[in-house]
Amino acid sequence: MLREVFATRYIDPLRSGGSVPGVVEADDLGTYVVKFRGSAQGRKALVAEVIVGELARALGLRFPELVLVHFDPAVAAHEPHQEVRDLHSASAGINLGMDYLSGAKDFTPEVAQGFHVDPLEAGKIIWLDALTVNVDRTVHSSNLMVWPTLGVAPPRLWLIDHGAALVFHHRWDASSPEKAYDFRHHALGGHAPDTRAADAELAPRVTAELLREITAEVPDAWLADEPGFATPDEVRAAYVDHLLARAKASAAWLPTDFPSREELAAEEALRAAKTQAGRPKWLKRVPDLHGKPDAEQDWSVHLG
């Protein structure tokens, strides 16, 4: 089960995402990025974080430890922004924390150019994203971090941020385990991902027993009052059934066709040219910032 800690010091909000998570210290002396239950994404984003993150770990991918964080808004009373304070007030109680990777860097297209990714590892990450329908790991928003592990060189890829995964739990009655999604613009699509080898290795490991162990880590309160289900355990069973059926149907959705880096660059150049051509003359000297990757973010700056 996920460890439980109590937030003792609020350091800073992270404004790189819409949920405005916060960096906090806890009573175990650890530092965590906390995703708050009261954010606009709601409890289902936290459910997805737990299920997909723990599944990634079980399948041998690098993912920071998750903890349940007891958060008292009084800890962050010094926060100057009212909208962030409102978020904290709506999130009193148990929230989700992820171990803070101090000094980690975003896996941006610029970083990716000089970073070697093993084709099997790339295939495994894409396979996990396709299984869990994670639509938020693209070339423009990788949700991957580059971080050294206990001083090991070179740095390794770490997965973060799975709140947008498991899209089927927003419309249970319309979900199909065989549904394919467009993963051609995945952040690792240009790294020769071996998704077939990943499928052969990982699909047999996604068992009902493993999925039951993982879904058991989701707090009851985050699964309560789900329309169409009487109890949290019924909701857990629905996740188990869907993900197990999807793993068994991997031949129907396995991503195998990815554009090269050169093709992606050509697509981006064409998109930028079309955008620029459609602007009025007085705007054509203004840079096009839409669709560009976020600036490289060093998490250590938030520790001050």
Q: Which two tokens stand for residue 106?
A: 């975003």
Closest CA to 43 of 252, 224, 298: 224
pLDDT in tens, 166-184: 999 999 988 899 999 999 8
pLDDT value for 228:
93
- pLDDT of residue 289 exceeding 50, the answer is no
pLDDT value for 299:
45
Grade residue 148 by pLDDT with cuts at 50, 70 and 90. confident
Single-letter residue type at 8: T
Average pLDDT, the chain: 89
Provide mean pLDDT across the span 180-201.
95
pLDDT value for 113:
85
- CB atoms near residue 251 (< 10 Å): 9
- pLDDT of residue 246 exceeding 80, the answer is yes
d(CA 68, CA 88): 15
CB 17 within 8 A of CB 40: no
- How far apart, in Å, are the Cα atoms of 295 and each of 98, 107, 136? 22, 10, 17
- pLDDT of residue 137 exceeding 60, the answer is yes
pLDDT value for 275:
73
DSSP secondary structure string, 212-248? HHHHTTS-GGGTTT-TT-SSHHHHHHHHHHHHHHHHH
CB 302 within 8 A of CB 31: no
Q: Classify residue 233 as exposed, middle or buried by CB count within 10 Å of its CB (0-12, 13-18, 19+).
A: middle
- pLDDT of residue 69 exceeding 80, the answer is yes
Grade residue 15 by pLDDT with cuts at 50, 70 and 90. confident
pLDDT in tens, 78-122: 999 999 999 999 999 999 999 999 989 999 988 888 889 999 999
Strand-strand pairing, 156-159 and 144-147: antiparallel
Closest CA to 113 of 151, 139, 137, 143: 139
Grade residue 302 by pLDDT with cuts at 50, 70 and 90. very low
pLDDT value for 17:
63
DSSP 28: T
DSSP 294: P
Provide mean pLDDT across the span 186-201.
96
> How many degrees, rounded to 5, is the angle at CA 12 between CA 88 and CA 32?
85
pLDDT value for 36:
96
- pLDDT of residue 300 exceeding 50, the answer is no
- pLDDT of residue 235 exceeding 90, the answer is yes
- pLDDT of residue 73 exceeding 50, the answer is yes
Domain parsing of the chain, residue ranges: 3-103, 105-253
CB 39 within 8 A of CB 71: no
pLDDT value for 153:
67
Specify the range with the lowest mean pLDDT, choosing from 83-87, 196-200, 211-215, 279-283. 279-283
pLDDT value for 304:
32
d(CA 161, CA 47): 12
Provide mean pLDDT across the span 122-131.
98
Specify the range with the lowest mean pLDDT, choosing from 16-20, 191-195, 223-227. 16-20
pLDDT value for 151:
57
Grade residue 291 by pLDDT with cuts at 50, 70 and 90. very low
